[in-house]
Amino acid sequence: MLQNIEKLLEEARQFKAGTKEEIEQFRIKFLGKKGLLSDLFARFKEVPAHQKKETGQKINQLKQFVLKKIETQLENLGEEGVQEDGQDLSLPGPPLALGARHPISIVRNEIISIFGRLGYTISEGPEIENDWHVFSALNFPPEHPARDMQDTFFIEKDPDILLRTHTSSVQVRVMEKESLPIRTISPGRVFRNEAISARAHCIFHQVEGLYIDENVSFADLKQTLLYFAREMFGKHVEIRLRPSYFPFTEPSAEMDISCQICGGKGCNVCKYTGWLEILGCGMVDPNVLEYNNIDSIKYTGFAFGMGIERVAMLKYQIKDLRLYFENDLRFLEQFQAAY
């Protein structure tokens, strides 16, 4: 009998529960009405007198051990969080999917970073503007057809209030309040009354740049834009400037970059020209400097402006502008932010 108790003690020592169920079975096996312990107590009377004391002690020891064991096993289970239904609450949770940055944000941050390396600050201004900051201070004469170049949303009751059609308005605000030299870019949302299609939207984003100092030349503009194009699209990119017209710059140009898909040979992305249009630029018109109380004899400057959607389309081969606004996760999850 002593040997038997010893064996049961060993069995109880080895016992390790995974669930509450197993502990309950263990309890029934040892402490239940027909359990091992009541069996031992029942057979106690058969134990020879001289072994009674030792045997009795052993049986009690076993009983105490089993009780203690049940207690500690229940505690352990509680700690590890295994529930009655076998669910282990201590397991790590399913991984949370991390969101991705919107491609417009990625490209905007990249543009900001590139011009930041050239010493450009960031300026912001209101989206609801007045005529002065969007047009007049930028040398759009009243009634001039150039105002039609940008289909403006006006507030019906007060045509002086409008949604800015470009962030050049921010540059006027910078010229008003900051001292020279000025070297700043203005990223922001702009609005034009256009029908929504794969190539046009009534809301889009721009980054415009302004640099005013003594002796700023067209060569500085070209070099700045070449640096930008190569940082943004790769070091083999070529640029070309085509004469253009903007009321606030003279001379004005539009910049193309060599098509990265075909390397300039011609393909359907660049419509077999080898070039892709990317931004407008030019030397700040002296009128604009004078409107903003800057001495146009002493100071010169250049300005440029680009659509972020357009840059992102070229960078990522996005064919339809509407994708930016539809929030389809299958689209949004494809962009990895380096910025």
For ligand PHE, the binding residues (CB under 6 A) are 166, 168, 208, 246, 249, 280-282, 303-305
* Cα(4)–Cα(56) distance, integer angstroms: 13
Cis peptide before 181 (omega within 30 of 0): yes
**Closest distance to ligand PHE from the beta carbon of 252 (Å):** 6
* Rounded least distance, CB 107 to ligand PHE, Å: 17
Closest residue to ligand PHE using C-beta atoms? 305
SS3 state of residue 301: strand
Smallest distance from ligand PHE to CB 185, Å: 11
- Burial profile 73-102: b = 16 or more Cβ within 10 angstroms, e = fewer: beeebeeeebeeeeeeeeeeeeeeeeeebb
Looking at beta carbons only, is 188 or 305 nearer to ligand PHE? 305
- Cβ closest to ligand PHE, residue 246 vs residue 335: 246
Please say which residue, 74 or 112, places its beta carbon nearer to ligand PHE.
Answer: 112
Residue 149 in tokens? 């170049």
CB of 310 to ligand PHE, least distance (A): 11
Q: Is there a contact between 221 and 229 (Cβ–Cβ < 8 Å)?
A: no
In the complex with ligand PHE, which residue's Cβ is closer, 103 or 280?
280
Minimal distance, residue 81 CB to ligand PHE, in Å = 59
The residue (of 39 and 176) whose beta carbon lies closer to ligand PHE is 176
Separation CA 102–CA 83 (nearest Å):
42
DSSP conformational letter for 86:
S
